[in-house]
Amino acid sequence: MAKLYFKHGAMNSGKSLELIKVAHNYEEQNKPVLIFTSSLDTRAEEDTVSSRVGFNREAVAIRPEMNVFDYVRNVEHKLYCILVDEAQFLNKEHILQFAQIVDDLNIPVMAFGLKNDFSNELFEGSRYLLIYADKIEELKTICWFCDKKATMNLRISNGRPVYAGEQIQIGGNESYIPVCRKCYQSPDLNQIEH
């Protein structure tokens, strides 16, 4: 029986790398997958999932008006799994459509993304994945400043923490670092080398 999975983690927890690994494992057994990513993530090419360690995969970019259920239903070959990168940027309708893919088409969906933004508010896609996912898994990484588990994303600009602003600002290591709760509140600014 297919399930909807939400695999979340702070920045640098290996979400995109894990997605690429899962795709490889399916395809190595001749089991086709379909990879989606949000069109909002512009760090790489629009139709690409890219990991920080240099691996890339072609993907279908999800735009706000796209109906992913209709897209998947019209794929002409059997799909063994749907993989979704940057799921935090999706809207409620997309999450409900992925749940419908699981329930009506019996195809497992693994969504990867951030749970919370730099101000520790849930993203829309993450909020609805937390509600509708059959299985939720945290991908772990360590705090930039100490040896605790990172659960938050600290936005930085010119070597200083940023706690207010627009929710979505696309960036990588130059803009965000993974931190624990304590270091989020009191980061050691001497360790920020950006």
**Catalytic choice (86, 93, 166, 174):** 86
Spatial neighbors of 23 by CB under 8 A, at least 6 apart, are 33, 35, 57, 81, 83
Which of 44, 131, 39 lies closest to 87, judged by CA?
A: 39
CA dist., res. 18 & res. 24, Å (int): 10
Is 86 a known active-site residue? yes
Residue 57 pairs in a beta bridge with 49
| 87, two tokens | 């799921």
CA dist., res. 113 & res. 153, Å (int): 12
Written as one letter, the residue type at 148 is K
Sign of CA dihedral 97, 89, 166, 184: positive
Q: Which residues are catalytic?
A: 86
